[in-house]
A and B are shown apart, each in its own frame.
Chain A
């Protein structure tokens, strides 16, 4: 398979993730969208690594996975705390940052 196929897949996954982030009301859903976007990047990294015969791509993927895990943990923790305080995780209601 050519490289472009992998890149197309990654782009599709990224687009789906972005769509999820933008449209989901639920904070957990948004987090899932972010996960998809990150994995799209991972696909790109692995694909490039494979086609350029460069282990750096794989290495970075491992890094990303590790960081993603941490990010999810922190993100979910924040969501839980928000739920405790505000009794909701609906994104539309979380506008404390408004100017």
Chain B
């Protein structure tokens, strides 16, 4: 077996195990409804996938890049060779993602068992079915060797997101959030699907390797700027870039482990992954890259400002996810997708940890409101992992966030994006500030009256968090001492550390010591504060577009169809009925009248015949 075939087979194992688990759970009803068994199947499958992924990663990593990394099979046949193919593409990018996805999935599935222990058993079975489907879809996405396969799994992870946000489907808020997430991401996906179809029409293939080959030889016809812009739209929807980011904060209605896995670590980063994967194509269209960098930086800043005024701990984390995704996209837009991707991986680990840690505090206090938490100073095992992740997110040496963020900032500066760089720098400060605002309020603030019923934290949840915290540390230390070299100017590390420190200090002064009144600070930035608290009106804008434009137009069309298009027809038939009503009066019912008619008719015919014959 060649090394390539071997790693392809391993990749198939990785993606196949969760699929098998999903099939088993979906088809065997008694198994699904017996929660421990369902959980065991799902967790065992993802554990197997994790092992296989690690084996593939360590086995393939040191080797030189393979000649052709993808192995494909025909999916949609056509006359002259298949029109679309599916398969696996095993290279460094996909292997790294494999490990990340299986790792976080495994952690989250284990954690969920404790977190959702109170759920009814059939619901829990459903939960693990969705989890397996998600793991399968996400793994299929990262292994995609073709655009069409990527789109297939792209939509499937969207489906899982929809199903899992709506896990508590009888809560109206969850139902609304799930549908909103689907619609908004679908809006971006329209661009994606149109883009890949246009790309296919000009290149005749969906295959990345072939497309990259064409890209280097300049063999791509068609309006590539438009095509890649449309493809980029898909990433805008999925990776929650402005203005399609509105679905992500609402997605927090789902169970917290789901938010950790899907809406922080893996699925939302699919857009960044796609841009990284298809970067040889994006490279050909500088306009789109510039747009990507600007939108990314703007998204980062916008989301950070909203995170500063949010009281719901999960929503703060959601805004911080949007903000970090903005960083990654900005890096890709500045021509440094590898920096963005490194941030993706690091962020995946510590953001999952943040959410899982938040899950613990939510479990303890039974609320999402940070102002109703506090007094956990005496429980270091609760706040320590969270603190590690927060420091990583804030970009403090020697944690991974420091290095990856620095690389992004360096890349953006290198690309001469002055203003985006500035926005990202401000975001770095805000990130440290809002994250430590949460830390001080949720953990170290004075305990609130009445909320003292601390619930014991299940050991499983604790251990998952500790493991992830250790992993974050290891990742950071490896980057610190593992031959990391900074490309940016020498003042950059100092700047980013200084900003992080300033943010932390401000949060400490405001929320721990009470030295600065938050209301006064808010007063200095009154318009921004006012807007940020209203989410810049974007949610309202989308809601209004939906209600007053789309639905109103649909009602109009429905009315036109029912009362005009169909109305014309009904008028015709009504007239027919009326004409018939008039004409039937001719039928007197008297036989003699009919005989008169016959006689008269015969006479007319006779006269006519005579006249014609003359």
CB contact list, A1-59 vs B, under 8 A: 18, 21-23, 30
The reply on A77 being an interface residue by CB < 8 A is: no
Given contacts A99-B584, A99-B585, contact A21 B595 (CB under 8 A): yes
The reply on A91 being an interface residue by CB < 8 A is: yes
Is the pair A94, B591 in contact by a Cβ cutoff of 8 Å? Answer: yes
Is the pair A98, B595 in contact by a Cβ cutoff of 8 Å? Answer: no
The reply on A96 being an interface residue by CB < 8 A is: yes
Residues in chain B near residue A30, CB distance under 8 A: 591-592
Is the pair A91, B589 in contact by a Cβ cutoff of 8 Å? Answer: no
Residues in chain A near residue B591, CB distance under 8 A: 30, 91, 94, 97
From the candidates A21, A91, A95, A99, name the one contacting B586 in the complex (CB within 8 A): A99
Residues in chain A near residue B583, CB distance under 8 A: 99
CB contact list, B573-599 vs A, under 8 A: 583-592, 595-596, 599
Is the pair B599, A22 in contact by a Cβ cutoff of 8 Å? Answer: yes
From the candidates A21, A22, A23, A98, name the one contacting B589 in the complex (CB within 8 A): A98
Is the pair B592, A98 in contact by a Cβ cutoff of 8 Å? Answer: no
Residues in chain A near residue B595, CB distance under 8 A: 18, 21-22
Contacts A91-B590, A97-B589 known; list 20 others, CB within 8 Å: A21-B592, A22-B592, A22-B595, A22-B596, A22-B599, A30-B591, A91-B591, A91-B592, A92-B590, A94-B589, A94-B590, A94-B591, A95-B589, A96-B589, A97-B591, A98-B589, A98-B590, A99-B583, A99-B585, A99-B587
Most chain A beta-carbon neighbours within 10 Å: one of B584, B590, B596: B590
Is the pair B599, A18 in contact by a Cβ cutoff of 8 Å? Answer: yes
Residues in chain A near residue B585, CB distance under 8 A: 99
Residues in chain B near residue A94, CB distance under 8 A: 589-591
Closest to B594 in A: A97
Instruction: Give min CB distance, A90 to chain B, whole Å.
Output: 11
Is the pair B587, A98 in contact by a Cβ cutoff of 8 Å? Answer: yes
A-B residue pairs in contact (CB < 8 Å), sample of 24: A18-B595, A18-B599, A21-B592, A22-B596, A30-B591, A91-B590, A91-B591, A91-B592, A92-B590, A94-B591, A95-B589, A95-B590, A96-B589, A97-B587, A97-B589, A97-B591, A98-B587, A98-B588, A98-B589, A99-B583, A99-B584, A99-B586, A99-B587, A99-B589
Residues in chain A near residue B589, CB distance under 8 A: 94-99
Residues in chain A near residue B587, CB distance under 8 A: 97-99
Residues in chain B near residue A98, CB distance under 8 A: 587-590
Interface residues on chain B, number (Cβ under 8 Å) = 13
CB contact list, A66-99 vs B, under 8 A: 91-92, 94-99
Residues in chain A near residue B590, CB distance under 8 A: 91-92, 94-95, 98
Residues in chain A near residue B592, CB distance under 8 A: 21-23, 30, 91
Q: Give the complex CA separation of A30 and B596 in angstroms.
A: 13
Q: Give the complex CA separation of A76 and B228 in angstroms.
A: 92
Residues in chain B near residue A91, CB distance under 8 A: 590-592
Residues in chain B near residue A95, CB distance under 8 A: 588-590
Q: Give the complex CA separation of A23 and B596 in angstroms.
A: 10
Residues in chain B near residue A23, CB distance under 8 A: 592
CB contact list, B49-86 vs A, under 8 A: none
Q: Give the complex CA separation of A95 and B585 in angstroms.
A: 12
Q: Give the complex CA separation of A23 and B599 in angstroms.
A: 13
Instruction: Give min CB distance, A44 to chain B, whole Å.
Output: 16
Closest to A34 in B: B595
Q: Give the complex CA separation of A98 and B590 in angstroms.
A: 7
Closest to B585 in A: A99
Residues in chain A near residue B588, CB distance under 8 A: 95, 98
Q: Give the complex CA separation of A98 and B586 in angstroms.
A: 8
Closest to B584 in A: A99
Residues in chain A near residue B584, CB distance under 8 A: 99
Instruction: Give min CB distance, A84 to chain B, whole Å.
Output: 19
Q: Give the complex CA separation of A89 and B227 in angstroms.
A: 88
Instruction: Give min CB distance, A59 to chain B, whole Å.
Output: 26
Q: Give the complex CA separation of A3 and B308 in angstroms.
A: 121
Closest to B580 in A: A99
Q: Give the complex CA separation of A98 and B587 in angstroms.
A: 5
Q: Give the complex CA separation of A94 and B588 in angstroms.
A: 10
- 6 nearest interchain CB pairs? A98-B589, A99-B584, A95-B589, A99-B587, A97-B589, A95-B590
Instruction: Give min CB distance, B132 to chain A, whole Å.
Output: 72
Closest to A21 in B: B595
Residues in chain A near residue B586, CB distance under 8 A: 99
Closest to A91 in B: B592
Instruction: Give min CB distance, A81 to chain B, whole Å.
Output: 16
Closest to A27 in B: B591
CB contact list, B216-248 vs A, under 8 A: none
Residues in chain B near residue A18, CB distance under 8 A: 595, 599
Q: Give the complex CA separation of A4 and B392 in angstroms.
A: 126
Instruction: Give min CB distance, A30 to chain B, whole Å.
Output: 7
Q: Give the complex CA separation of A22 and B586 in angstroms.
A: 18
Closest to B587 in A: A99
Instruction: Give min CB distance, B374 to chain A, whole Å.
Output: 90
Closest to A24 in B: B592
Closest to A93 in B: B590
Q: Give the complex CA separation of A22 and B596 in angstroms.
A: 7
Instruction: Give min CB distance, A12 to chain B, whole Å.
Output: 16
Most chain B beta-carbon neighbours within 10 Å: one of A18, A91, A98: A98
Residues in chain B near residue A22, CB distance under 8 A: 592, 595-596, 599
Instruction: Give min CB distance, B389 to chain A, whole Å.
Output: 88
Instruction: Give min CB distance, A22 to chain B, whole Å.
Output: 6
Q: Give the complex CA separation of A7 and B534 in angstroms.
A: 106
Residues in chain B near residue A99, CB distance under 8 A: 583-587, 589
CB contact list, B166-183 vs A, under 8 A: none
Q: Give the complex CA separation of A99 and B580 in angstroms.
A: 10
Closest to B586 in A: A99
Q: Give the complex CA separation of A95 and B589 in angstroms.
A: 4
Closest to A92 in B: B590
Closest to B583 in A: A99
Q: Give the complex CA separation of A92 and B531 in angstroms.
A: 89
Q: Give the complex CA separation of A43 and B599 in angstroms.
A: 20
Q: Give the complex CA separation of A99 and B579 in angstroms.
A: 13
Instruction: Give min CB distance, B585 to chain A, whole Å.
Output: 6
Q: Give the complex CA separation of A30 and B591 in angstroms.
A: 10
Residues in chain B near residue A96, CB distance under 8 A: 589
